[in-house]
Amino acid sequence: MEVILASTSATRQSMLRSAGVMATAVASDIDEAPIKQSFRDAGQSAAAAAMALAREKALAVSARHPDQLVIGADQILDCEGRWFDKPADASAAAEHLRKLSGRVHQLETAIVCAAGGACIWAHSEAPRLKMRPLSDAFIAAHIRSEGDRILYSVGAYRLEGPGIQLFERIDGDFFAILGLPLLHLLSFLRQFGVLPS
C-alpha cells in the first residue's frame, strides 16, 4: 500500500522522507476557513478544530485514492484563546510575533490516517511554547533574515531554524511542533504493515 500525505507542506514531506517514509504529496483542496469558523462559532476548542481539519483533509484525498493510506494533518496555534492562522505577509508576521512575545502558546496538532474513504487512526498533541519578550528591532531583523519562509508557519517562526532564538521554554514533542507527531505515526505505520517492525 502506498502512502499519500494530504498536504503540500515541505516540512511534513521532509520529515517523512528523512524517517524513510516515501509518501506522495497530494493537496486536499478543502476550504479550511469555514470549518475553523464553525468551530469558533460553536465555542469549540482549537484542538477539536485541528482534528476536524486533519480528518477532512485525509478523507478528501482518500475518496480520490481509496486504495492508498492517506495521512492528514493540521495545526492551530492557540494563544490565550486566540487562534492564529499563517501570516499573509511580513507585516502580519511581525504582528503575530508581537502578540506572542512574552507569552505561552499551544500548537494544537492533529493527525488522521484514512484508507478506503474511512478514518482508521487519529492522534493529537499539544506542545506548549514560551516565547521570550521580543523587541521590535529583533522582530524586524528576524523577519528580514527568514524572508518568505516564515509565512508557512502559523507562528511566523521556524523552530528548526533561527526561530529557536525566540523561545525561553518548550514543552512537548519536537516533531509535533513542526506539524507532524512523527513517533506516534511511525508506530502506527509499523502496526499497519506499511513499515517493517
Joined together, the cell numbers standing for residue 87 give 501570516
Which pLDDT belongs to residue 176?
A: 96
Query: Over the stretch 158-189, which tens digit does the pLDDT of each residue have?
Result: 998 999 999 999 999 999 999 999 999 999 99
Indicate if 67 belongs to the active site: no
Query: Over the stretch 57-116, which tens digit does the pLDDT of each residue have?
Result: 999 999 999 999 999 999 999 999 999 989 999 999 999 999 999 999 999 999 999 999
Cα–Cα distance measured from residue 159 to residue 178, given in angstroms and rounded to the nearest whole number: 7
Those residues whose C-beta lies under 8 Å from the C-beta of residue 27, and which sit 6 or more positions away, are 6, 7, 8
Catalytic residue among 29, 31, 74, 148: 74
Contact 56, 30 (CB under 8 A): yes
Q: Which helix (H) or strand (E) holds 176?
A: helix 174-178
| Residue 52 CB coordination number (10 Å) | 19
Q: What structural domains does the chain harbor?
A: 3-191 (3.90.950.10)
Percent of the chain scoring above 90 in pLDDT = 95
Cα–Cα distance measured from residue 25 to residue 13, given in angstroms and rounded to the nearest whole number: 7
